[in-house]
Structure 1
Amino acid sequence: MKRSLLLYLTILFALTTLFTYVFLNSELQFEQKRSERKITKLRDSLALVTNQLADANYFSLAKNENAQNYFENQNSQMIIQYEKLIPVVTEKLLDYNSNLKGNPYTGQDQIGANKFIINKVKILNHRWIIADFSDGEIWGEVLLKYFVNEDETITFEVNQSLLYQK
């Protein structure tokens, strides 16, 4: 009786061990396949976002080699590095927000109690800037020309401005 009980327990232990091994092995394979699918999906998403970012930055001085070459091939002796120019132009344009009547380069006169100020700026190339502005209630966008003069001053000119309806 003792021997048969010991035999049954040994067989039961062997079967339990076998089933546990098969179960854990299949679970491991399932998790590996699932993680591979997730990694593939994440790589595809990353590639998609990278492509969207490249498309969004297509019109940007930082990515436009022709516009960058403009600053290197000017007739004057002055060579301007576009990496340093972008923050300088942006800061110069945003400095006009402190004007009492609002930023004059929004292309809009003050409508209500609040003045129009520029919120965001994107330098498109060696000549154009697009900017977003608001007075807290009314929003708009402006297309500007900018010029880097021989004395390294920057001047702006409003080309087109529009206001969105409330």
Structure 2
Amino acid sequence: MKKSFLLLLFVLAFLFTVFTYMFLSKQVKYEQDRYKKTTTKLRDSISLVKTKLVDANYFSLENNENAQNYFDGGSAEKTIQYEKLIPVVTEKLLDLNANPKGNPYTGQDQIGANKFIINKVKILNHRWIIADFSDGEYWGEVLLKYFVNDDESISFEVNQSLLYQK
């Protein structure tokens, strides 16, 4: 009886070991396959996002080599670095929001009690800027021309302004 009981325990232990081994080996394979699928899906998503980002930034001074070359005056003292120019132009335009009548480069007169101020600025190339503006109630966009003068000051000119309906 004792031998049959030990034999039964040995057979059960062997079966338990075989089933555990099979389960764990299948689980590892399943997890590896799932990891591979997830990694592939994430790589595809990252690739898609990168492509969309490149498409979205197509019109920007950072990615437009022809517009960047415009600031290379041929001589070392006349060269303007576009990396430093972008924040300067943006800051100059946003500083005009402090005007009591609102930013004059929104192309819109004050409608209500609030003044129009520029919220976002995107420098498209060596000549154009697109900006988003609002007074808290009305929203719009403006296309600006900007110029870097010989004394390295920045001047702006409203090209087109659009105010959305409420």
TM-score norm. by structure 2 comes to: 0.97
Are positions 1:129 and 2:129 aligned together?
yes
The equivalent residue for 2:68 is 68
User: CA, structure 1 residues 75+141, in 2 after alignment: closer, same or farther (shift >3 Å)?
Assistant: farther
Change (3 A) 1:125 1:99: same
Which structure 2 residues correspond to residues 45-56 of structure 1 after superposition, within 5 A? 45-56=45-56
Shift of 1:77: 5.0
Question: Which runs of 5 or more structure 1 residues have no equivalent in the other structure?
Answer: none
Count of residue pairs brought into register by the alignment:
166
Report the alpha carbon displacement of residue 74 of structure 1 after superposing the two structures with TM: 6.1
Q: How does 1:39-118 map to 2 (within 5 A)?
A: 39-73=39-73, 77-118=77-118
| d(CA) in 2 for partners of 1:26, 1:77 | 69
Structure 1 equivalent of residue 120 of structure 2: 120
Is 1:147 the counterpart of 2:147 in the alignment?
yes
What amino acid is the match of 1:49?
Answer: V
Question: Aligned residue for 2:16?
Answer: 16
- Gaps (5+ residues) in structure 2? none
Superposed CA RMSD in Å reads: 1.2
Q: Secondary structure at the match of 1:142?
A: strand
Report SS of the residue matched to 2:47: helix
Report the secondary structure of 1:72's partner residue. Answer: coil
- Where 1:80 maps in the other structure, the secondary structure is coil
Q: Distance in 2 between matches of 1:92 and 1:79?
A: 20
SS of residue in 2 equivalent to 1:133: strand
Residue 28 (structure 1) shift: 1.0
How far apart in 2 are the matches of 1:21 and 1:14?
Answer: 10
**Structure 1 residue runs of 4 or more that deviate by more than 3 Å after TM superposition:** 73-77
Amino acid at match of 2:142: V
